[in-house]
Amino acid sequence: MLFTDSYFTLTKSVEFLYKDRGSKFFGFAFPIKSESDIKEVLNGLRDKHPSATHHCYAWRLGPDKSRFRINDDGEPSGTAGRPIYSQIQSNDLTDVLIVVVRYFGGTLLGVNGLIQSYRASAAGAIAESGIVERFITFDYKLVFENEDTSPVMRVLKECHCEIINREYNEKNILTIRIMKKHLDQFHGSIKNLYKVAFSLISDRT
């Protein structure tokens, strides 16, 4: 069950370069919405960096943060994907993919060196992108007679609803958007207007 009214994600896709003893770590940060987005991004980076030693990544999806994955791509277990994911966790991010592409520089970094390099690359990419708060919203359709226009508009104002579409035929039809944090108040108020029909169209996260 989703208990939050908002979540944090990245503002834009960025690239960040980190170097350690000859190895180059290109940190890429992406705001994403689905696993198909992730697959497309990963395939694109592999095409762009075919000679890289490793393409390590971590991602998390959904406002409830329930879906995630970590990949070391051949690095010693726990030295790449986990440090990348730790930066997603520490910044409380979701709907995000962080990829670190490594070019080996000839010097072994050791376990601690790898962990530090992958963590720093992810942190740098996140900082370059910036973090934004997104509010969870729901779209509803309202159908009502002219005589109910004033009370409907009063409810919409009290619940901070956004009108995103209007239709005027035999009845008034409004498509509205409401933040999750106002949803209980909206349901309680609109149900008191017995002649007003309302239905959920979609949730937007």
- pLDDT tens, 5-27? 999 999 999 999 999 999 999 99
Written in H, E and C, the secondary structure of 19-71 is EECCEEEEEEEEECCCHHHHHHHHHHHHHHCCCCCEEEEEEEECCCCCEEEEE
Contact 56, 84 (CB under 8 A): yes
Written in H, E and C, the secondary structure of 92-131 is CECCEEEEEEEECCCCCCHHHHHHHHHHHHHHHHHHHHCE
Q: Domain check: are 149 and 117 in the same one?
A: no
Residue 74 lies in a domain: yes
Q: Domain check: are 114 and 147 in the same one?
A: no
Report the CATH number at residue 39.
Answer: 3.30.230.30
Q: Domain check: are 18 and 33 in the same one?
A: yes
Q: Domain check: are 105 and 20 in the same one?
A: yes
Amino acid 50 reads: P
Residue 1 lies in a domain: no
Distance CA 33, CA 30 (A): 10
Structural domain count of the chain: 2
Q: Domain check: are 127 and 96 in the same one?
A: yes
Distance CA 16, CA 120 (A): 10
CA 171 from chain center: how many Å?
38
Q: Domain check: are 79 and 124 in the same one?
A: yes
Q: In what order do the strands lie in the sheet with 197-204?
A: 162-168, 172-179, 137-144, 197-204
Q: Domain check: are 166 and 197 in the same one?
A: yes
The residue range of the domain holding 98 is: 6-134
Say whether pTM exceeds 0.75: yes
Identify the pLDDT of residue 203.
Answer: 73
Q: Domain check: are 38 and 89 in the same one?
A: yes
Contacts of 38 (CB under 8 A, 6+ apart): 32, 59, 97
- pLDDT tens, 58-113? 999 998 899 999 999 999 999 999 999 999 999 999 999 999 999 999 999 999 99
- pLDDT tens, 111-139? 999 999 999 999 999 999 999 999 999 99
